[in-house]
Amino acid sequence: DAEITQSPRHKITETGRQVTLACHQTWNHNNMFWYRQDLGHGLRLIHYSYGVHDTNKGEVSDGYSVSRSNTEDLPLTLESAASSQTSVYFCASSESQGSTGYTFGSGTRLTVV
Amino acid sequence: AQKVTQAQTEISVVEKEDVTLDCVYETRDTTYYLFWYKQPPSGELVFLIRRNSFDEQNEISGRYSWNFQKSTSSFNFTITASQVVDSAVYFCALSEATISGTASKLTFGTGTRLQVTL
């Protein structure tokens, strides 16, 4: 069965370190998204991609980067982790034609100490 | 810019009560999609429903029903005869269509936490 997986599920890192969160989907979806979830803010868009080599900034992109070298993967990199980036991160994918819905990963809980 | 407002931060009900979760949205597009997601205590996001802007028919799925009213820019969600298993955070979300008519990125409301007790 097709799926979308995020790894790791939990991560603790130190301030200033570079961290990469993985997102892999086997739906063959062109669209992929990264969100962060914080209490009182719901889910906010960090970066998104509509296809290979396409990346776009979302509303809270500062301090984050993504790259899309193939259809299946959209890794999210925190260049220099800050305590304000402690959050739960969700990856999602969707078809580019129609809008049958978005499939979300199980989330990565990141703690920056 | 698009915006989704869920004014109810938390709602507590007793099992078997009906409960309505409000969602008000803002968009300048004429073509858009509305969604509801459920996030149970386990943390995953569960898709409940998608509606496009041209379909104002209300929908019922078991104990769940949705009322879409373009005139008031609202997409409210009602749970009939609530159960303890309905306890979760519920998110309303909006996606504007791209030029080709496909859905683009989702904008979420801040969520409503529903607590159903015995």
Residues B103 and B95: beta-carbon distance below 8 Å:
yes
- Partnered with residue B66 across adjacent β-strands are B59, B77
pLDDT of residue A67: 97
How far is the C-alpha of B30 from the C-alpha of B112, rounded, in Å? Answer: 26
CB-nearest to B102 from A42, A45, A99 is A99
Residues A82 and A90: beta-carbon distance below 8 Å:
no
Cβ-Cβ contacts under 8 Å, A98 against chain B: 102-103
CA dihedral sign of residues A105, B5, A44, B42: negative
Q: Span B24-39, mean pLDDT?
A: 92
Write down the residue that tokens 């799926």 correspond to: A3
Residues B20 and B112: beta-carbon distance below 8 Å:
no
**Number of cross-chain residue pairs from A and B with Cβ atoms under 8 Å apart:** 54
Residue of A nearest to B98 (CA): A96
Q: How confident is the model at residue B5 (pLDDT cuts 50, 70, 90)?
A: very high
Residues from B contacting A (CB-CB < 8 Å) are 6, 33, 35, 37, 43-45, 47, 50, 52, 91, 93, 95, 97, 102-111
- Who contacts A39 (Cβ-Cβ below 8 Å, separation ≥6)? none
The DSSP symbol for A84 reads G
- One digit per residue, pLDDT tens: chain A, 113 residues? 889 999 999 999 999 999 999 999 998 998 999 999 998 889 999 999 989 999 999 999 999 999 999 999 999 999 999 999 999 999 999 876 555 678 899 999 999 99
CB contact under 8 A, B106 and A33: yes
- Structure tokens given for B15: 């099992």
